[in-house]
Amino acid sequence: MELKLTPQEEQEILETFIAESSDKHEQLDTFLTALEAEPSSKSILHDLNRVLHTLKGNAMSMGFSAIGELCHLMEEIFSYYKKGVLELNKDVFDALFKSSDKLGELIRGINEDKRITHKGIKTRLEVLIRDAKGEELVVEHTEPTDIQITPEVIAQDCEYVPTDEELVSQENEESQEPQEQIVQPLPEEPKKEKASFFVDLVRRLSRYIKGLFGLKKDHNIEEERGHSFLSKKEERPSLTVDNEASFYALFEENSDENAPPEQSVEEAISDPENVLIEEEIVVENDIESTDLLDKLYDKVEVSDTVQVPIRKLDALMNQMGQLIIERDRLASKEDSRAHKAELASLHRITSDLQYSVMNVRLVQVGTLFNKFHRVVRDVAEVEKKMVTLQIKGSDVEIDRTVLKTISDSLIHLVRNAIGHGLETADVRKELNKPVTGVVTLNAYSDKDHVIIEVTDDGAGVDPEAIREKLISKGIVSSQQAKSMSDDELIMHIFHTGFSSANQVSEISGRGVGMDVVKKSVETIGGQVNVQTKVGFGTTIRLKLPASLVVKGVLMFTMQSQEYAVPLAYTASVISLTKKDIRKAGLGLMATFLNKPISIVFLSDLLRMDDFSEIYDHGNLHRSFDEKSNSEKFEVVVVSNSGREFGVVVDKLLQQKEVIEKPLPYPLEGNVLLSGTTILGTGNICMILDAVAITEMLYSTKFKVYESQKAS
């Protein structure tokens, strides 16, 4: 039974490991935050230990000793806390949170080929433990000295199995340094001995078990790693030794001359301190080895869920898209009437399949929201503000790619809400507000969209402050600023280079700005809106597509070429006559729902070599001037983040669900189009980039104002 893994299998195992570990790390953060709020909770402590334990087991079996070490030290802190010799004060929590961060870094670092050192935080934890230990010794006076030595002796005497060098060096900065090598016993550091003792123990146990299966004794590490992983690491405790004799045989198996006295082995194992709080490794004397064998079979139970790398889902989604195009092509063939019934069932099946594929990609927003307990805690700490986080709608489902795309934006919005939105406790007291501010993350479904809101009950955004800022930064002239409505002013927080904070703080003044938030939301076809009331707080609302598999578009033709605009950006379709439209500065204006909106003839945009030509006077008037007075125009009202404008098209077609493909090389940079799709007829339909056109029209708006002034 040779267990050899292909590089691909290894990669998949590694991917699974990373995915599981990230998951566990996320839980760790959540529980840590919870424990900080409620340090006396036994159940949280239990959960924490469980998570740490699993994480440690997984990491150890994969050879990522640094992760294992940190987990182990954290476990130890909690064990001392349980014993009552260590107090979980702010300092300790700080260290624990830092450790958790480092764990996250280490896990991410596996794939990024980054060298991450964990020595600093490790030492900090060790100091905490040493202090606690000193106290413990004073209290108990019971620890016999020989037990301190025992594991060390064992570890030194037992065969040393090198960890996978490649993996170790990937995650550890100085893998040659003794601190980084858990398997090398260090007499000065008791914890280390225990760890190495434990690792050796587990190795020998696994070898023993392989022996039962008739595996080769001189296994290579790869084999071991694969084996122990495949059999699910959570079951490391499953390597329970049920038979005393066979257990001792383990120790004898590979130890050469200086085998430790049996007595000390026994002590080493029976003393919980030395078996590294691995309570699960229990020595049960009264069970026969046949039971051990039986139990082994129980341990290879196959999980009911499958972890699928996202790239496989992406591939599935692409194939799904091709299938739908092919289906539409068949349906639009001339002889399709003869096969109407067959096509109908094909249509139904593919649609069902499409929804299934979409469904598989959905994840609950809670998976992201839950990470924010930690984010809020950290930001509140830095900003010296008191904050509670409320989470609503955790069970709303959204495409995983959408969630990933907005995760950074959401962090920024929450930082902003705490940093800029919420007032300090003193100010809040003066204002008769509750001292603790509330930041709410809320998600809910709205037809084909998911709305995610970040709300704070802070000071709100003052349009007057923005007005002043715009003028002082020279973004608009004071005259233009005066003519702007509050909503228009507030939309300027998304303007590149605009920051309304008076001073740059450690948290808010760094990383992505509001303009980046807006852009990243728009890349996936979403929109951003702001609602704010001075003194009562701000809500930033992200309107996101629930699924990225298909995109609803409104199709139309221009000069017999099919074009489309995403329904996500389509407010309505209206019909205008020439006299409804007036020239205004560089552009055209009309009234829509009693509001003036810009009108642009798409033919004028298509005619241009690039967007800079819109600044030339008359370029946006050309089609308008060519039309006769009686002509009616079909106008698509495009709406993006509260900005609306009308696009005059030649002829409207229908709404359609399409699979958008990016523009082919070398046209990726085209600013007017966001992508293409192949229609059932085989024709290509080009999808307009509504966002880019909005930006363009609104950036010139100032020029429009200016030219109005000039005229």
Partner 1 sequence: MEAKMQEMLEEKERVVEDTGEKIQLIVFNLAAEEYAVPIEQVKEIVPTPKISPVPQTPEYVVGIANIRGQVLSVINLEKKFGFHQETHVLTSDKRNSSFVLVIEHEDTSIGVVVNQVPTTFAVPVSKIDSSDQMMQHSSMDASVIKGVANTQGRLIILIDILRMLELGEIKTNRDS
Residues at the site binding partner 1, with contacts judged by CB under 8 A: 322, 325, 561, 605-612, 661, 663-667, 669-673, 676, 678, 682-684, 686
Residue 604 · residue 646 · CB < 8 Å: no
Pairing of strands 651-658, 673-678: unpaired
Beta bridge partners of residue 675, listed in sequence order? 687
Longest dimension (CA), the chain: 106
The distance of closest approach from Cβ of residue 322 to partner 1 in the complex, given in angstroms and rounded to an integer, is 7
7 or 669, CB closer to partner 1? 669
- Please tell me the distance from the alpha carbon of residue 272 to that of residue 278, in angstroms, as a whole number: 8
The distance of closest approach from Cβ of residue 698 to partner 1 in the complex, given in angstroms and rounded to an integer, is 18
533 or 607, CB closer to partner 1? 607
- Please tell me the distance from the alpha carbon of residue 426 to that of residue 428, in angstroms, as a whole number: 5
Reply yes or no: is the peptide bond before residue 185 cis, omega within 30 of 0: no
| Of the candidates 252, 232, 151, 148, the residue with the CA atom closest to the CA atom of residue 199 | 151
User: What is the SS3 assignment for 691?
Assistant: helix
Give the chain's radius of gyration (CA, Å): 32
- Helices 119-140, 65-83: crossing angle, 10 deg rounding: 30
The distance of closest approach from Cβ of residue 242 to partner 1 in the complex, given in angstroms and rounded to an integer, is 55
The distance of closest approach from Cβ of residue 602 to partner 1 in the complex, given in angstroms and rounded to an integer, is 9
120 or 682, CB closer to partner 1? 682
The distance of closest approach from Cβ of residue 560 to partner 1 in the complex, given in angstroms and rounded to an integer, is 10
474 or 664, CB closer to partner 1? 664
The distance of closest approach from Cβ of residue 681 to partner 1 in the complex, given in angstroms and rounded to an integer, is 10
The distance of closest approach from Cβ of residue 237 to partner 1 in the complex, given in angstroms and rounded to an integer, is 46
The distance of closest approach from Cβ of residue 631 to partner 1 in the complex, given in angstroms and rounded to an integer, is 23
- Helices 310-331, 340-360: crossing angle, 10 deg rounding: 160
Residue 498 · residue 514 · CB < 8 Å: yes
The distance of closest approach from Cβ of residue 632 to partner 1 in the complex, given in angstroms and rounded to an integer, is 24
The distance of closest approach from Cβ of residue 553 to partner 1 in the complex, given in angstroms and rounded to an integer, is 16
- Please tell me the distance from the alpha carbon of residue 522 to that of residue 57, in angstroms, as a whole number: 41
CB half-sphere exposure, 402, CA atoms < 13 A: 27
523 or 561, CB closer to partner 1? 561
N- to C-terminal Cα distance for the chain?
88
The distance of closest approach from Cβ of residue 317 to partner 1 in the complex, given in angstroms and rounded to an integer, is 16
The distance of closest approach from Cβ of residue 620 to partner 1 in the complex, given in angstroms and rounded to an integer, is 15
98 or 329, CB closer to partner 1? 329
The distance of closest approach from Cβ of residue 325 to partner 1 in the complex, given in angstroms and rounded to an integer, is 7
Residue 49 · residue 68 · CB < 8 Å: no
The distance of closest approach from Cβ of residue 554 to partner 1 in the complex, given in angstroms and rounded to an integer, is 18
- Please tell me the distance from the alpha carbon of residue 481 to that of residue 517, in angstroms, as a whole number: 24
- Please tell me the distance from the alpha carbon of residue 209 to that of residue 203, in angstroms, as a whole number: 10
The distance of closest approach from Cβ of residue 332 to partner 1 in the complex, given in angstroms and rounded to an integer, is 14
187 or 662, CB closer to partner 1? 662
438 or 672, CB closer to partner 1? 672
607 or 617, CB closer to partner 1? 607
158 or 659, CB closer to partner 1? 659
- Please tell me the distance from the alpha carbon of residue 570 to that of residue 572, in angstroms, as a whole number: 6
- Please tell me the distance from the alpha carbon of residue 64 to that of residue 25, in angstroms, as a whole number: 15
Question: What phi and psi values does residue 267 have, to the nearest 5 degrees?
Answer: -60, -45
Residue 361 · residue 313 · CB < 8 Å: yes
3 or 663, CB closer to partner 1? 663
388 or 683, CB closer to partner 1? 683
- Please tell me the distance from the alpha carbon of residue 307 to that of residue 389, in angstroms, as a whole number: 30
390 or 612, CB closer to partner 1? 612
| Of the candidates 500, 553, 535, the residue with the CA atom closest to the CA atom of residue 677 | 553
Pairing of strands 651-658, 595-601: unpaired
363 or 692, CB closer to partner 1? 692
The distance of closest approach from Cβ of residue 327 to partner 1 in the complex, given in angstroms and rounded to an integer, is 13
Question: What phi and psi values does residue 487 have, to the nearest 5 degrees?
Answer: -60, -45
The distance of closest approach from Cβ of residue 678 to partner 1 in the complex, given in angstroms and rounded to an integer, is 5
| Of the candidates 702, 704, 677, 708, the residue with the CA atom closest to the CA atom of residue 324 | 677
- Please tell me the distance from the alpha carbon of residue 60 to that of residue 197, in angstroms, as a whole number: 13
- Please tell me the distance from the alpha carbon of residue 591 to that of residue 635, in angstroms, as a whole number: 12
Residue 659 · residue 626 · CB < 8 Å: no
- Please tell me the distance from the alpha carbon of residue 578 to that of residue 476, in angstroms, as a whole number: 32
- Please tell me the distance from the alpha carbon of residue 69 to that of residue 99, in angstroms, as a whole number: 11
Sign of CA dihedral 154, 156, 161, 163: positive
Query: H helices within 231-280, ranges in order?
Result: 244-254, 262-270
322 or 351, CB closer to partner 1? 322
- Please tell me the distance from the alpha carbon of residue 31 to that of residue 373, in angstroms, as a whole number: 9
407 or 557, CB closer to partner 1? 557
Residue 524 · residue 405 · CB < 8 Å: yes
**How many CB atoms sit inside 10 A of residue 162's CB?**
11
483 or 561, CB closer to partner 1? 561
